[in-house]
């Protein structure tokens, strides 16, 4: 009985809190502040334009052991348990013919450094580490400096 009374009191407090929020914000339209600015919850702003991907640009590393950046769009690329679109160009078998960069030999090794006949399962999902590099302005200002040895 005591638990039921406590539960009823807490539900009542929740309802009172919702009622108070409704008084302070009639219609329930609140605002959300993010790095892209403020927006009303029930309104939709136009989507940003697609970013441009520099195909001819050589993308240099900014820090040691950085996974290479992808100089093209990966939109509509399937990378799943059943297929990996990246391998159609970047596998050792296809890279020369496609004029693409070969996958690193480290991607064919397991945790014990044994060389495998195919890409290691832990390296199969390319887009976990490699990302497309677009000409996009940063969302926030920063003072990041490249590693001196990579200049």
Given a contact cutoff of 8 angstroms between Cβ atoms, the answer to whether 28 and 34 are in contact is: no
List, for residues 18-74, the tens digit of each pLDDT value.
Answer: 555 555 555 555 566 677 666 666 667 777 777 777 666 666 777 888 888 888 888
4 or 139, which is more confident = 139
Ligand-binding annotation for 2, yes or no, is no
Given a contact cutoff of 8 angstroms between Cβ atoms, the answer to whether 151 and 63 are in contact is: no
Kindly list the structural domains of the chain, giving each domain's residue range(s) and its CATH number in brackets, ordered by start.
Answer: 1-47 (no CATH), 48-136 (1.10.1130.10)
Compute CA distances 35 → 1, 45, 138, whole Å: 49, 14, 10
Ligand-binding annotation for 68, yes or no, is no
Ligand-binding annotation for 18, yes or no, is no
Please tell me the predicted confidence (pLDDT) of residue 40: 67
Look at residue 2 and tell me whether its pLDDT is greater than 70.
no
Ligand-binding annotation for 130, yes or no, is yes
Please tell me the predicted confidence (pLDDT) of residue 135: 72
Please tell me the predicted confidence (pLDDT) of residue 76: 86
Ligand-binding annotation for 66, yes or no, is no
């Amino acid at each position: 009985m005591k638990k039921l009374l406590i539960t009823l009191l807490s539900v009542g407090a929740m309802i009172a809190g919702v009622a108070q929020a409704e008084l302070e914000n009639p219609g329930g339209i609140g605002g959300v502040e993010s790095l892209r600015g403020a927006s009303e919850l029930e309104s939709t702003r136009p989507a940003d334009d697609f970013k441009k991907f520099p195909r001819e640009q050589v993308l240099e590393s900014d820090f040691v052991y950085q996974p290479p950046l992808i100089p093209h769009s990966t939109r509509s690329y399937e990378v799943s348990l059943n297929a990996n679109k990246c391998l159609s160009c970047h596998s050792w078998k296809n890279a020369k013919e496609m004029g693409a960069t070969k996958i690193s030999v480290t991607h064919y090794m397991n945790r014990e450094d044994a060389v495998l006949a195919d890409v290691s399962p832990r390296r199969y999902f390319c887009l976990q580490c490699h990302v497309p590099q677009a000409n996009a302005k940063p969302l926030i200002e920063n003072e990041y400096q490249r590693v001196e040895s990579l200049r």
